[in-house]
Amino acid sequence: MDTLWLGYDALVLPLGEISAVLLYQPALDGRIIQSYGSVPRGVQAVVVTAAGAYWPAAMPADQLRRRWAEWRGAPRPER
């Protein structure tokens, strides 16, 4: 399973659980606090999961989106 490290502690998400990558805005702080417990320093992006969690990311949104797009375009092994 491919994962994406968001730059904080052991905050790693399976790429298949991501539903959106947003630019960080202070208006998202409440949702980040509900999911993560606090708003860490250096937040540049917010990753929204299919379950509705809002996780902070220390990496730029364009970098995260590029990694997510590469994963979506990659051929999947057959099960």
Residue ranges making up the domain that contains 43: 3-73
Instruction: Please tell me the total count of domains within the chain.
Output: 1
Q: Is 53 part of any domain?
A: yes
The whole-number pLDDT of residue 21 equals 97
Write out pLDDT tens, residues 14-60: 999 999 999 999 999 999 999 999 999 999 999 999 999 999 999 99
Tell me if 38 is assigned to some domain.
yes
Q: Does residue 37 form part of some domain?
A: yes
What DSSP state is assigned to residue 67?
A: H
Asked if residue 50 is part of any domain, the answer here is: yes
pLDDT beyond 70 at 71:
yes
User: Is residue 45 within 8 Å of 23, Cβ to Cβ?
Assistant: yes
Q: Is the pLDDT of residue 74 over 80?
A: no
Across the range 59-68, mean pLDDT stands at 94
Specify if 79 maps to a domain.
no
| Nearest partner of 39 among 8, 3, 5, 4, judged by Cα | 8
Which secondary structure element, helix H or strand E, spans residue 48, and what is its range?
Answer: strand 45-49
- CB atoms under 10 Å from CB of 71, counted, come to 16
Q: Is residue 78 part of a domain?
A: no
Query: What's the confidence (pLDDT) of residue 61?
Result: 96
pLDDT surpasses 60 at 77: no
- Give the helix ranges, DSSP H, for 1-79: 29-36, 61-73
